[in-house]
Amino acid sequence: MTRPERLGRVRFPWQRAELDPSAELATPELGAVAAPSVEVARATRFSETFRALRHRNYRLFYTGQAISLTGTWMQTVAQSWLVIELTDSKAALGIVTTLQFLPITLFVLPAGVIADRVNKRDLILATRALAMVQALLLAVLVATGEAELWHVYILALVLGVSNAFEQPTRQAMVIEMVGKDDLINAVALNSGLFNGARLVGPSIAGVVIAIAGTEAAFAINAVTFIPSILALTMMDLSELKVTGRRPEAPANPLGELREGLSFVLRTPAALMIMILVAFLGTFGYNFITVLPLVARYVLHGDSVDLGFLTAALGLGAFLSALVIASQRRASRSALFVGGALFALFLGAVALSESFYLSMLFLLLTGMANIVFAATSNTSLQLATPDHLRGRVMALYMLLIAGSTPLGASLTGFMAELLGVQVAIGLLAVACLLGVAVGFLYYITHREQVEATALASVVVATAP
């Protein structure tokens, strides 16, 4: 059998029809399926959007995350507002963000090596416990009136250490919970959950801070970790779809790290994604710094306004994630169009001085963000061998979140020197430049990129 004949028999994910068990075959010998009714089509569409939830382990994970992430977003708003209250400094806000993400920069790659060698569930449990303790300490310090800026700096570092080990491990574990066929759905649902929490958490935080102070938001966040920890302990590890090899004997960690980096450098489809993520992660994903600056110094608002601005970003991302979740494939066009629109809408945020216009542009920014993020995440995971996924996703998280220390510091100091709107505008231009660089790489390496993408689809659909 020739190669074209073999490829002709590959069934791509978006070609798989969802069959109604009660449907009759119009022509049994050809296997044709009768046209579904409108009701069946709607039910199928709904089940497609949430299909990853049919996996019990993922349902537990998703439920725990839904509660925990709401508290996490409450703390994000509270921490930013606490820094502004303590210092009234744009640069200080950039520094605390830098410190929170610095451990990701330093430790996320070694964390990826560890994630490929240990029980991922147990490692995530340990990181959740550390984050819960950090939130409790913040709540106590603020409640007793002892909180100082250096306390916030140190505890931001502690949270960063927790995130450095949790994020690549969680990213790599998703495919073990749902398998490759449901990966894009799970990634989109995770994005929807993350941004749904961004919608709810900041809105609640703004009111809670105004009524009870930032300490209440920190305390609530600490409590929300409990359901997440319980959900992880209830997982059935025997149901995890671990198909890659896990090293049994001690090995050279540096050698394993080089193996992951080497795979990205020699795989055009993966390298193209990393180029895009490097620019957008460094210059675009600095909302923890950007939104408080916009709320306080451009729109002259308070903590409630900051909560609504953050919620607008989350609402756009949430709506976009629901659309992406119903898809069966991650398209190349979505990667570039999503990235370009993200940059353009971020630039619109920089130009706006109206609260409601800013909310609209942030909503659109959130929508474009998820189109880009879900597509890049899924495409990268499907192009990566199972035994390298922890390390490759660690590099992805390094560029998405680990680059934030540079981006946040740059944002804070540019805002101090040039003004908030000019700073955000320059960040938007840098993001657009990154999309152009990534697209140029795609044009010049198109055959290699498409070949890698085809290989990943064949692997993903193989029995």
Q: Which amino acid is at 16?
A: R
**Which is more confident, 462 or 387?**
387
Residue 25 neighbours by CB distance under 10 Å: 12
172-181, 197-206, 277-286: range with lowest mean pLDDT? 197-206
pLDDT in tens, 300-317: 888 788 878 888 888 888
Q: Is the pLDDT of residue 209 over 50?
A: yes
CA proximity to 139, closest of 73, 214, 77: 214
Q: Where are the alpha helices (DSSP H) in 22-55?
A: 38-49
Q: What does the pLDDT read at residue 202?
A: 77
CA-based diameter of the chain, in Å?
Answer: 78
Does residue 114 surpass a pLDDT of 70? yes
Mean pLDDT, the chain, integer? 80
pLDDT at 446: 87
Q: Look at residue 48 and tell me whether its pLDDT is greater than 80.
A: no
Instruction: State the pLDDT at residue 158.
Output: 94
Q: Per-residue pLDDT averaged across 323-337, rounded? A: 76
Give pLDDT tens digits for 14-39.
Answer: 333 333 443 333 333 433 444 445 44
What torsion do the CA atoms of 424, 429, 431, 433 make, to the nearest 10 degrees? Answer: -170
Distance CA 67, CA 193 (A): 10
pLDDT of amino acid 218: 95
Q: What is the pLDDT of residue 45?
A: 54
Model pLDDT, residue 458? 39
pLDDT of residue 242: 64
Report whether pLDDT(127) > 90: yes
Report the distance separating Cα 334 and Cα 302, nearest Å.
Answer: 36
Tokens 């066929």 sit on residue: 181
Q: Write down the pLDDT at residue 276.
A: 94
The arithmetic mean of pLDDT across residues 38-61, rounded, is 71
Residue type, 441: Y
Print the SS3 string covering 178-235.
Answer: HCCCCHHHHHHHHHHHHHHHHHHHHHHHHHHHHHHCHHHHHHHHHHHHHHHHHHHHCC
Give the pLDDT confidence of 234-292 residue by residue, as tens digits.
998 888 876 544 545 455 777 777 888 888 888 888 899 999 999 998 898 888 778 88
Residue 48 identity: E
DSSP state letter for 249 = S
Positive or negative torsion for Cα 59, 61, 65, 68 = positive
Q: Which residue has the higher pLDDT, 41 or 341?
A: 341
**Helix, strand, or coil (residue 347):** helix
The CA–CA distances, whole Å, from 217 to 79, 160, 205, 209, 222 equal 9, 19, 6, 7, 9
Beta bridge partners of 25: 33
Residue scoring higher pLDDT (242 or 94): 94
SS3 state of residue 33: strand
Is the predicted pLDDT of residue 410 greater than 80, yes or no? yes
DSSP state, residue 402: I
- State how far the Cα of 69 lies from the Cα of 75, in Å rounded to an integer: 10
**Which residue has better confidence, 408 or 319?**
319
**How far is the C-alpha of 451 from the C-alpha of 456, rounded, in Å?**
9
In DSSP terms, 33 is beta-bridged to 25
Mean pLDDT of 125-142: 94
Q: pLDDT, tens digit, for every residue of 342-357?
A: 999 999 999 999 999 9
Q: To the nearest whole percent, how much of the chain has pLDDT over 90?
A: 30
Q: How far apart are CA 322 and CA 236, in angstroms?
A: 27
Of the pLDDT bands very low, low, confident and very high (cuts 50, 70, 90), residue 47 is low
Task: Return the higher-pLDDT residue of 333 and 21.
Answer: 333
Is the pLDDT at 326 greater than 80, yes or no?
no
Cβ neighbours of 179 (radius 10 Å):
17
Tokens 């657009």 sit on residue = 432
Q: For the segment 423-457, what is each residue's pLDDT rounded down to a tens digit?
A: 999 999 999 999 999 999 999 988 887 776 544 44
Range of weakest confidence among 46-50, 187-191, 412-416: 46-50
Instruction: Tell me if the pTM is above 0.75.
Output: no
Ordered by where they begin, the domains of the chain are 51-237+256-461 (1.20.1250.20)
The pLDDT value recorded for residue 18 is 38
User: Does residue 182 register a pLDDT over 70?
Assistant: yes
Question: What's the pLDDT at 345?
Answer: 96
pLDDT of residue 329: 66
What three-state secondary structure class fits 25? Answer: strand
Selection from 67-71, 168-172, 277-281, 432-436 with the highest mean pLDDT: 432-436
